[in-house]
Amino acid sequence: MKYWADCKNEVARIIKPGGKAICFGWNSMGLGKNRGFEMKRILIVNHGGSRNDTLVTVEVKK
């Protein structure tokens, strides 16, 4: 888990205030409030049948 936390920390460091982060995955965690981001949008992409949905989150850095 440390690898992904380090990746998220680096992305948070690079994005300027007002910048947006778009994350794709199977949860809605995104980059998170602790890194200075505010969740603006969540989209659920249904792939149909027996495939898992993909969650898309859009966050803005404060």
Whether residue 13 has pLDDT greater than 80: yes
pLDDT tens digits, residue range 15-48? 999 999 999 999 999 999 999 999 999 999 999 9
Whether residue 1 has pLDDT greater than 80: no
23: its two tokens: 């994350």
pTM of the predicted model as reported, rounded to 2 decimal places: 0.88
Parse the chain into domains and list their residue ranges.
2-61
